[in-house]
Amino acid sequence: MMLSQDFAGRKAERMRNQASGDQLQAHAIIRPLLSSYQFHSRPVNPIQPQMQCKEPVPLTGAELKQLRNALGEAIGKPLSAADMAKLCSLPSGSGSETFRRWEVSGPTGPAAELLRILAMASDHYPILDNFNVFDRHNIPEQERPARRQEFREKMRAEVRRRLG
């Protein structure tokens, strides 16, 4: 009797080891596949949709300068550091200095999110997934470009409104 229990115990242990080996093999196959995908929220190509991750990659100083130029182009006038500070709701006195520092280090927190949203006013930046209601099944394909353009115009009007 003791011999059969020992045999059954060893057989069960072998099956557990084999199952964990299969899991390790599956992880070895899946992990490289997952790591080959890059999850980011920076605009790469405004025509192609992009993947979004839960925590967006922070804007760098160089990207902030590009955003400033793109927003200026979108509303038809160049934007100064003081204008960008006003868009971020920074105080009028020290806001432009803060924005100039951000152009080196990049903005963080709520200001970065606000700028990411306002970037949709420019044709150089894609419409974020949270705001993209144009690719739904209930909107005819012919109307989608016009609706996207209308949305961008509303975003430009919002930028102009914030500038005063």
What pLDDT is stored for residue 50 in this prediction?
A: 47
What pLDDT is stored for residue 137 in this prediction?
A: 84
CB 74 within 8 A of CB 149: no
* CA atoms 3, 8, 9, 14: torsion sign: positive
**pTM, entire model:** 0.63
Burial environment of residue 59 by CB neighbours within 10 A (0 to 12, 13 to 18, 19 or more): buried
For 44, residues 6+ apart whose C-beta sits below 8 A from its C-beta are 50
What pLDDT is stored for residue 16 in this prediction?
A: 62
> Nearest 5 degrees, angle CA 20-CA 24-CA 28?
170
CA distance linking residue 140 with residue 65, whole number of Å? 37
Burial environment of residue 67 by CB neighbours within 10 A (0 to 12, 13 to 18, 19 or more): buried
- Tell me the pLDDT of the chain (164 aa) as tens digits: 455 556 566 666 666 665 555 444 444 444 443 343 333 444 444 444 444 444 566 788 899 999 999 999 999 999 999 999 999 989 888 999 999 999 999 898 889 999 999 999 999 998 888 888 888 888 899 999 999 999 999 999 999 999 98
Helix then strand then coil, in percent of the chain rounded to 5, is 65, 0, 35
